[in-house]
Chain A
Amino acid sequence: MFNNAKPVTFLIAEDDPDDRLLIHEAFQESLVSNSIYFVEDGVELLDYLRHQDKYADPTVSPTPDLILLDLNMPRKDGREALAEIKSDHRLRYIPVVVLTTSKAEEDIMRSYDIGAASYITKPVTFDGLVEAIKGFKQYWVQIVCLPTQDANNEKSYE
């Protein structure tokens, strides 16, 4: 199995506090330790990424290696936030994975179309969520080189 030397920073945009808790727990269930940061809607997400207001300090709010994005959120929803991220040349390199309860074909199609790296339908059970997060982390943490990581820090067998 491959692994990254550097810990990966995830930023999760999710308005539902129960879901935030479940996602946090699912991340902890799946072996690799990483840094997880949360924002609660699209406005906060963009503020975070642009280091505005309460996110001004990059040591407290580091630029994420990957964003997990809910679609249905108040103020600015995930669709708008995704479009804004992908049309901003300073942010577009950050992979965005949609994690949502929506199974609507239009949401799936549109998310890929605007530039989502992938689309995950939130499993309804906690076990399902843990399994999904495990598969997610195997791919993005163990196999893939993320844009902010040093490629020469070669992945090696455990």
Chain B
Amino acid sequence: MRKAMNDQNHFFTILIAEDDSDDKILVQSAFAELDLAYNLFSVQDGFELLNYLRKQGGFLDSTTAPRPDLILLDLNMPRMDGREALAEIKSDPALRSIPVVVISNSVVQEDILRTYDLGGAGFIIKPQTFEGMHEVVKVLNRYWFKVVQLAGGVRGKNGKGNGSAPIYSG
């Protein structure tokens, strides 16, 4: 049995910004296959994402909209796209420490370069199959929640394992 590399054993909060409901379901079901519980939240576009992070609009309550440990960001979304949202997050001192991983259908070199230039913590080409997404989510889980140390005193930040089931919203 592999030992956990650190003791980050609370419920991680992942926020998914994705306008396509099929893609969102694909990501959610891939996370549901993991043996760890997550708080998974979703927003539909960059505008909602910024509102969520800034606790504005319909996201005033930090129990139903807690600060995420990791953001998974689509690039092509209506109203405010992922490029703009990423730029805003990374230029906001209150938000910039949250890692943002882009998951996009785009294979445009400029999108990849720009993602890193703006401060993205990875660019993943969106897998089109469940198996592909499952593999991506497994690796995301292992890297971000077992190898990496996240910002903001994640360990114990929300209390450890409060027993609640993962919440799906949006």
Instruction: Tell which of A92, A121, A123, A139 has the most Cβ of chain B within 10 Å.
Output: A139
* Chain A residues, Cβ within 8 Å of B106: 151
Q: Are A155 and B139 in contact (CB under 8 A)?
A: no
> What interface size band does chain B fall in?
35 or more
Measured in the bound complex, the distance between the Cα atoms of B91 and A80 in whole Å is: 19
* Chain A residues, Cβ within 8 Å of B108: 151
Q: Are A119 and B151 in contact (CB under 8 A)?
A: yes
* Chain B residues, Cβ within 8 Å of A89: 117
Q: Are A112 and B99 in contact (CB under 8 A)?
A: yes
Can you list, as one digit per residue, whether each of A66-103 has a CB less than 8 Å from chain B (1) or not (0)?
Answer: 00000000000000000000100100111100000001
Number of A-B contacts (CB under 8 A): 118
The number of residues on chain A lying at the interface, defined by a beta carbon within 8 Å of a beta carbon of chain B, is 42
Known: A143-B136, A144-B124. A136 touches B112 (CB 8 A): no
Q: Separation in Å of the A157 CB from the closest CB of chain B? A: 8
Q: Separation in Å of the B170 CB from the closest CB of chain A? A: 24
Q: Are B112 and A135 in contact (CB under 8 A)?
A: no
Contacting B97 at CB < 8 Å: which of A113, A143, A149, A151? A113
* Chain B residues, Cβ within 8 Å of A121: 6, 149
Contacting B116 at CB < 8 Å: which of A95, A123, A139, A155? A95
* Chain A residues, Cβ within 8 Å of B124: 143-145
Q: Which residues of A contact B (CB under 8 A)?
A: 1-2, 86, 89, 92-95, 103, 105, 108-109, 112-113, 115, 117-121, 123, 128, 131-132, 135-136, 138-140, 142-147, 149-152, 154-155, 157
